Amino acid sequence: MTENTPTATDHSTGDPRPSIADTFGTLAVCWREPSEGWVDAIESGRFEWLDGVETFGDLDELRVEYTRLFIGPGRDQCPPYESVYRDGADSDDLGPVYGPTTQAVARWYDEYDLRLRDSRSAPPDHIATELEFAAYLSANEDDSVLEQFLNEHLREWVDQFVAHLRENDPGPFYRALIRRTTEAINS
Q: Counting every residue, how long is the chain? A: 187
If binding is defined by CB under 8 A, does position 49 make contact with another protein?
no
If binding is defined by CB under 8 A, does position 128 make contact with another protein?
yes
The β-bridge partners of 81 are 126
Distance of closest approach, residue 86 Cβ to another protein, in angstroms: 12
If binding is defined by CB under 8 A, does position 124 make contact with another protein?
yes
Q: Which is nearer to another protein, 106 or 176 (CB)?
A: 106
Site for another protein in 68-97 (CB under 8 A): 68, 71-75, 77, 79, 81, 84, 88-97
Integer Cα distance of 136 and 134 in angstroms: 5
If binding is defined by CB under 8 A, does position 114 make contact with another protein?
yes
- Residue 110 CA to chain centroid, in angstroms? 20
The β-bridge partners of 122 are none
Distance of closest approach, residue 130 Cβ to another protein, in angstroms: 10
Interface segment toward another protein; rule CB under 8 A; list 48-56, 64-72, 144-152, 171-179: 64-72
Residue 179: exposure state from Cβ atoms within 10 A (0-12, 13-18, ≥19): middle
If binding is defined by CB under 8 A, does position 59 make contact with another protein?
no
Integer Cα distance of 27 and 22 in angstroms: 8
Integer Cα distance of 129 and 59 in angstroms: 22
**Binder to another protein among 98, 159, 171, 179 (CB under 8 A)?**
98
Interface with another protein: number of residues (CB under 8 A):
75
**Binder to another protein among 22, 158, 170, 173 (CB under 8 A)?**
22
If binding is defined by CB under 8 A, does position 14 make contact with another protein?
no
The β-bridge partners of 88 are none
